[in-house]
Amino acid sequence: MRPKITDLSLDQLKSLVRSYGQPDYTARQIFRWLYQGLASSFDEMTDLPAALRKTLASQTTPLSLRPIEQRISDNGKTTKVLFELEDGQSVESVLMLYDGREKGQKRNTVCISTQVGCPIGCPFCATGQQGFERDLSPGEIVEQVLYFQRQLAARRYDKVAAGPTPPRITNVVFMGMGEPLANYESIRQSLETLASRQGLGFGARRVTISTAGLVPQIRRLAQEKVHAELAISLHASSNELRNMLVPINRKYPLEMLLPAATEYFERTGRRPTFEYVLFRGINDSVRHARDLAHLLLGLNCHVNLIPASPTLDRKFLPPSMKQVLAFQRELTRCGVSNTLRVSRGLDIEAACGQLRSRCNPSCRAG
């Protein structure tokens, strides 16, 4: 299997072109073609020598993800794509378009995967029910963003309203299939590519990494030169309940997780977000809201409340909206900054792992 050019950092790409007798600026040209020019083949890189383009095409591959199924919902605002990888495995990504009414600004957000399956095994998660196959490479991660950027660039748009340039991806969230921080090296390199001015040019506040709570990796991420927003999947305010919902809590309980979140804030200046998925009759009562507020007392953070998405396991159902709003009111009354996040694309199975479960029956639980 030929190496993927997107798996290479800029420094690694420089080493490659040097081996072909080319100067370092050639690597920068290739990098810009991939991430700014959105080239899908070496033939499109017209300012490279023809002989080099031929060599690159014979010895490497520019892109490796192949879309095999696409579903569109929310009047075209949510698109989910199932990609086939070179080894026949598959992962999902979702593009969500926001017109500005939901958070006060227009955003084009891509939710990307970092692993085939997931090793954490949360019982309510469709990906967790599939088991774990392998990590994605840096290129396989970044190519998900490139795919949707090319899709946006190819769409018709109103030049009067949008200006002379096509719409672009504005935000990237590592919230798809897998536990991002369990694939740390690939995540670190993909962050560098996303942040690079010669790459995709995303600022730290435009990229969010979600984790189930891998404490050593959270502490390590806090020390990296390339930062991102941090979202921690909490879902419970006690170790007893979180042990059931997020099994990694048995290894890294709340007494270890919350200090790591505090350290992340202190080192980066970016307050962590705690994701709290509400499950009917499990963690959605007003008492649970008060316990959550008590747990987070004094911590500079924000809570995202998310009504559960249905999966194959019917034990984990969303609460009524009345119950959701009661939970939110209590959390607000207790002084906890929070947002109620509206689920997108339920009719196209946009929650992570759902489409892959449907298209790969052998991955289904039970």
Question: For the packed helices 321-333 and 286-295, what is the interaxial angle rounded to 10 degrees?
Answer: 40
Same domain (yes/no): 214, 320:
yes
Q: What is the DSSP string of 151-166?
A: HHHHS---HHHH-SS-
> What are 134's strand-pairing partners?
116
Same domain (yes/no): 10, 117:
no
Residue 43 pLDDT: 95
pTM over the 0.85 mark = yes
Side chain identity, residue 255? E
Same domain (yes/no): 50, 18:
yes
Same domain (yes/no): 100, 142:
yes
How many other β-carbons are positioned within 10 Å of the β-carbon of residue 154?
A: 9
- Answer yes or no: are the C-beta atoms of 343 and 307 closer than 8 Å: yes
Residue 175 pLDDT: 95
Among 44, 59, 74, the domain boundary falls at 59
CA distance 297 to 5: 47
- Answer yes or no: are the C-beta atoms of 352 and 113 closer than 8 Å: yes
Same domain (yes/no): 168, 41:
no
Which positions ≥6 away from 7 have C-beta within 8 Å? 137, 138, 139
Residue 226 pLDDT: 86
Tokens 């696409």 belong to: 70
CA distance 215 to 320: 33
Q: Helices H, strands E: what count in the chain?
A: 12, 12
Same domain (yes/no): 114, 48:
no
Same domain (yes/no): 46, 186:
no
Which positions ≥6 away from 246 have C-beta within 8 Å? 120, 122, 212, 213, 233, 234, 235, 236
Same domain (yes/no): 32, 76:
no
Same domain (yes/no): 71, 34:
no
Same domain (yes/no): 134, 220:
yes
Which structural domain range is residue 10 located in? 5-59
Q: Report the CATH number at residue 31.
A: 1.10.150.530
298 burial type by CB count under 10 A (0-12 exposed, 13-18 middle, 19+ buried): exposed
What length is written for the chain?
Answer: 366
- Answer yes or no: are the C-beta atoms of 342 and 102 closer than 8 Å: yes
Residues of the chain falling short of pLDDT 50: 158-162, 348, 350, 352-366
Overall number of domains in the chain: 2
Among 22, 39, 59, the domain boundary falls at 59
Same domain (yes/no): 14, 107:
no
Q: Report the CATH number at residue 140.
A: 3.20.20.70
Pairing of strands 229-233, 207-211: parallel
Q: Tell me the catalytic residues.
A: 92, 352
| Mean of the per-residue pLDDT values of the chain | 89
Same domain (yes/no): 258, 345:
yes
Q: What is the DSSP letter of 356?
A: H
Among 59, 82, 105, the domain boundary falls at 59
